[in-house]
């Protein structure tokens, strides 16, 4: 550390203040696909509990980089929010037995929707998942 006072002689460069650079269409398709594949894998590996984290991370990192990637990552996050709601409702229903069915069904539906979303994103197609409310736009 030096004992010199703060100097305005140097230009101030704050990398955190810079606006994110837009992605190319190919990069947008790639990240939109990843926005579905990561939560799909996390959902399968964690029995539905960590898919939300994967969707949220990709959404927060790439939502401002292009409209296509934003739409697909928002859809991915919406699928995970709906899945989380159904999983939470399924927990008390497990006391009467039906919750085991709804829990498993929610995971299967989420995996199918993410697989379709990843396929559509990779093909460069816009897509809205069925059975999903739009919490995030």
Tell me what the mean pLDDT of segment 26-48 comes to: 93
Residue 134 lies in a domain: no
Percentage of the chain exceeding pLDDT 90: 72
Residue 32 lies in a domain: yes
Q: What is the pTM of this model?
A: 0.82
HSE toward the beta carbon, residue 106, CA cutoff 13 A: 25
CA dist 76 and 52 (Å) reads 9
CA dist 43 and 123 (Å) reads 23
pLDDT at 2: 52
pLDDT at 49: 85
- In the chain, how many domains are there? 1
Residue 70 lies in a domain: yes
Residue 9 lies in a domain: no
Residue 2 lies in a domain: no
Tell me what the mean pLDDT of segment 100-129 comes to: 96
pLDDT at 10: 55
CA dist 43 and 64 (Å) reads 25
Residue 19 lies in a domain: no
pLDDT at 3: 57
Report DSSP state, residue 49.
S
Q: Quick one: tokens of 68?
A: 């296509």
9 or 122: which carries more pLDDT confidence?
A: 122
Q: Is the pLDDT of residue 13 over 80?
A: no
Q: How confident is the model at residue 37 (pLDDT cuts 50, 70, 90)?
A: very high
What range defines the domain where residue 115 resides? 25-122
Do the beta carbons of residue 135 and residue 78 sit within 8 Å? yes
Residue 81 lies in a domain: yes
């Amino acid at each position: 550390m030096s004992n010199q006072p703060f100097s305005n002689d140097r230009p101030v460069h704050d990398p955190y203040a810079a606006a994110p650079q837009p992605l190319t269409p190919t990069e947008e398709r790639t990240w939109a696909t990843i926005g579905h594949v990561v939560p799909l894998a996390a959902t399968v590996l964690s029995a539905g509990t960590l898919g939300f984290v994967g969707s949220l991370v990709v959404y927060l990192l790439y939502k401002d980089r292009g409209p296509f990637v934003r739409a697909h990552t928002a859809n991915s996050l919406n699928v995970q929010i709906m899945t989380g709601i159904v999983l939470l409702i399924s927990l008390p229903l497990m006391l009467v037995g039906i919750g085991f069915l709804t829990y498993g069904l929610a995971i299967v539906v989420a995996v199918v929707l993410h697989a379709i979303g990843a396929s559509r994103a990779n093909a460069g197609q816009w897509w809205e998942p069925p059975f999903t409310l739009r919490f995030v736009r």
